[in-house]
Amino acid sequence: MRTTMRKMFLPLFGAIGALAAVAIPALANDRYAERPPVMVSPDLSAPWVTQLGRAPGVVRSSRGYAVQQPQWGQPQVRYRQVAPQGQYYRQAQPRVQYRQAQPQAGTDRVRTAAVPGRPVRRTVARPQINPIYLPQEVAFDGKEKPGTIIIDTTKNFLYLVGDNGKARRYGVGTGKPGFEWAGTHKVSQKREWPDWRPPSEMIAREKAKGRYLPTFLAGGIENPLGARALYLGSTLYRIHGTNQPWTIGGAVSSGCIRMRNEDVVDLYDRVKVGTTVVVM
């Protein structure tokens, strides 16, 4: 009986062994064979796809970049391809828009940034400086010698007398009504980014108007004396810069002579201590 069963199963075992001998190499080859890539449809190129990073077999669209449409109040996120293998990186940039404030006649245009989710801040349009108050070379027929500073408080001009009947003219701001003065002094000091110590009379005067001035303010862009100051004799008057350049050309000060910061720096470099200043 055993001999009969053995004779029956021997051909079957032989067939199974032959099949295994053929199948095992095929399975081994399939194990290391390269799988076909998984194709992602373009309409599935959503942000989650880009988070797959170097996932094997993922092939992205060949387009240079894909942009996710931002929601209001969210930064715009752009996904840019940086390697042909499909690696990506994220670069977030806030959507900044620039709006033009409607200018009034004779004023500068003011550009303000609109940030999503935040109300637009509009800057007050400042009056535009008349070009006649910008520095320029003019004819001069006065008797003062070259190097003298002459200030015309009626026309709001400062002249630095030059040679050959020429002068360099700057626009200035001068004393408001009740604070006009005239006289001749020498430049006694020169200071870069000067400190400001308002006189007690000014502090009291402004306090009566509801404005409180500091007793001391260090030099800087917020300082009303601006970038440079030329002190006149032993008086409290100065030729100085300003952090309000739109006031140049008017009667606006408490007696000092205001200049644009860039203009007072130019004048500062041209004159020395001891220069004569004539205020008319």
Name the H helices within 42-147: 47-50
CA distance 167 to 145: 11
Q: Each residue of 96-124: b (16+ CB within 10 Å) or e?
A: eeeeebeeeeeeeeeeeeeeeeeeeeeee
Name 278's bridge partners: 150, 184
SS3 188: strand
CA distance 78 to 199: 58
As to burial, measured by CB atoms within 10 angstroms (0-12 exposed, 13-18 middle, 19+ buried), residue 13 is: exposed
Instruction: Please list the active-site residues.
Output: 240, 256
CB 89 within 8 A of CB 68: no
CB 165 within 8 A of CB 239: no
**What is the chain's alpha carbon radius of gyration, rounded to the nearest angstrom?**
41
